[in-house]
Amino acid sequence: MNLTIENILLIGSILLLISIVAGKTSYKFGVPTLLLFLAIGMLAGSDGIGGIFFNDPSLAQFIGIVSLNFILFSGGLDTNWATVKPILREGVALSTLGVLFTAVSLGTFVWYVTDFTIYESMLLGSIVSSTDAAAVFSILRSKNLALKTNLRPTLELESGSNDPMAYVLTLAFLTLVVNQDQSLASVIPMFLLQMALGGVGGFAFGHLSKQIINRIKLDFEGLYPVLVIALMFITFSATDAVGGNGFLAIYICAVYLGNQDLIHKRTILKMFDGLAWLMQIVLFLTLGLLVFPSQMMPYAGIGLLVSLFLIVVARPVGVLLSLMFFRMKMRRRLYISWVGLRGAVPIVFATYPLLAGIDKATAIFNIVFFISVSSVLIQGTTLSLFAKWLKVALPEQAKKLNATDLLLADNPKAEMQEFTITPDCYAVEKEIVQLGFPKNAIIAMIKREGNYLLPNGSTKLETGDSLIVLADGPGVLDAVAKTLKGGNA
């Protein structure tokens, strides 16, 4: 069956519905949801029972880039700076040096066991060198896995920020494969420029986006998430246009915005949470359709061999070397090594050699596919088990809602207190977004002149208002009182 304008919506919606319904029960059998989405795409493809013919790497790459924008941006919005700050250096080391060491060690192994040239081997190593944000975010959060000593924010920070490094390495070694007369030193300026402009662009667009969101006065609350989507794509495309790393820019921009006071922030967070899931499903379905299982079997042996080396050797080497200067217990390092999930991102990056038309492009794509599937299947199904073995999991009673969970939860279990705005309060005639409100507290409702209002960031507080405030704990409520009475001072 060929995809046409007439049937693409019907087929797409049916696949989406099947994926959601099947994903609801998949974890009862220990199968990661993302792997199920990929399998549904393969079953619907030309070699499956659906018979849908899809062989367009260019379109798949476009869908992949758009999807990664949403996934990385959503992950950045959910990143709590207060939680990330203590482990920032470890996270940056893992997302840069860890990726580099993983790529080099795996590339060297591929060079020894295959007929690939050294640059082709390093290209393959680079493509699968980063952990997959979609896989890590979805599996950790769907399992509600509570980990000790800041492990979860370390893993989420690494997975959200290491794709840019893998992307730059992929482009660098692809350039060397295509232009064999160039030296390794020739791509170093491109690497430095990509990372520098990506970082600067992320902070600059983050600050600019905050000003636009809070100062523009839109008539409908539902337009604010649309505005943020536009700003997200502008951040990515503008940074990419000047030679910077767009993926790094949108992640930094999202982390900045997620830790600022924004108008309709709760609406924006919930909207992006849903969009991120939609993009994950669409991405895995698309890549499943792109795969031809009948063409993959000749690469099954080498694919599994390379995958096992990545899981058992290359990933641990990358983690241990990048964290060698940090004080950290070995069992924590080992668990970080095990959460080296590969998912859709490597498969998206593997479309770049296909479009470049290099000799080993098909082999690289199929090997990468085997690596991604085996990683999600082996590591994704054993995260909880390894957490217990290595004694890095928290007991059930120790799990608590974080600030983002509080904002996204429909019925948060939290401390509640009512505050009255008196004439001498700093908050009088101030918009909520201007107060510098504690991050782990929300104004759930305002009682004004006998009426109840649902507030947003642009709501101005008036004398006599009674605020119903939800917070993580009593200490946060004290900070709320200080903010309302005396501002940030």
pLDDT (tens digit per residue) in 399-457: 444 444 444 454 444 578 888 888 888 888 888 888 887 777 888 888 888 888 888 77
How much is the pLDDT for 395? 63
Please check whether residues 446 and 344 belong to one and the same domain: no
Distance, CA of 130 to CA of 92 (rounded, Å): 13
Compute φ and ψ for 147, nearest 5 degrees. -120, 155
Distance, CA of 443 to CA of 452 (rounded, Å): 12
Give Cα separations from 140 to 36, 135, 149, 155, 159 (angstroms): 16, 8, 15, 9, 11
Query: Which residues span the domain enclosing 140?
Result: 8-398
Residue 363, pLDDT > 80, answer yes
How much is the pLDDT for 69? 92
Please check whether residues 447 and 380 belong to one and the same domain: no
Distance, CA of 428 to CA of 464 (rounded, Å): 9
Q: Is the residue at 326 inside a domain?
A: yes
Residue 209, pLDDT > 90, answer yes
Torsion angle in degrees (nearest 10) through CA of 125, 131, 134, 136: 150
Give me the CATH number covering residue 453.
Answer: 3.30.70.1450
Least reliable range by pLDDT among 82-91, 101-110, 119-128, 167-176: 82-91
| Domain finish residue from 398, 428, 457 | 398
How much is the pLDDT for 85? 86
Least reliable range by pLDDT among 457-461, 466-470, 483-487: 483-487
- What would the 3-class secondary structure string for 29-59 be? HCCCHHHHHHHHHHHHECCCCCCEECCCHHH
Please check whether residues 381 and 447 belong to one and the same domain: no
Give Cα separations from 421 to 36, 339, 385, 444, 460 (angstroms): 52, 48, 50, 15, 11
Please check whether residues 340 and 219 belong to one and the same domain: yes
Distance, CA of 341 to CA of 123 (rounded, Å): 19
Please check whether residues 89 and 194 belong to one and the same domain: yes
How much is the pLDDT for 2? 60
Please check whether residues 393 and 420 belong to one and the same domain: no
Please check whether residues 393 and 427 belong to one and the same domain: no
Distance, CA of 153 to CA of 269 (rounded, Å): 18
478 pLDDT tier (thresholds 50, 70, 90): confident
What does the mean pLDDT of the chain come to?
83
Please check whether residues 94 and 63 belong to one and the same domain: yes
Residue predicted with more confidence, 422 or 143: 422
| Domain finish residue from 398, 424, 444 | 398
- What ranges in 323-416 are assigned the alpha helix state H? 330-338, 344-349, 351-356, 361-378, 383-389, 403-408
- What ranges in 162-215 are assigned the alpha helix state H? 163-178, 188-215
Q: Is the residue at 406 inside a domain?
A: no
**Contact criterion met (CB below 8 Å) for 25 and 274:** no
Domain count, the chain: 2
Distance, CA of 315 to CA of 378 (rounded, Å): 14
| Mean pLDDT value across residues 366-373 | 89
Please check whether residues 336 and 457 belong to one and the same domain: no
Q: Is the residue at 408 inside a domain?
A: no
Residue 489, pLDDT > 50, answer no
Hey, what are 228's tokens? 């943020």
Distance, CA of 484 to CA of 472 (rounded, Å): 17
| Mean pLDDT value across residues 188-205 | 91
| Domain finish residue from 357, 374, 398 | 398
Please check whether residues 48 and 91 belong to one and the same domain: yes
Give me the CATH number covering residue 16.
Answer: 1.20.1530.20
Tens of pLDDT, residue by residue over 258-310, are: 888 888 888 898 899 888 888 888 888 888 888 887 778 888 889 999 999 99
Please check whether residues 236 and 306 belong to one and the same domain: yes
Please check whether residues 350 and 429 belong to one and the same domain: no
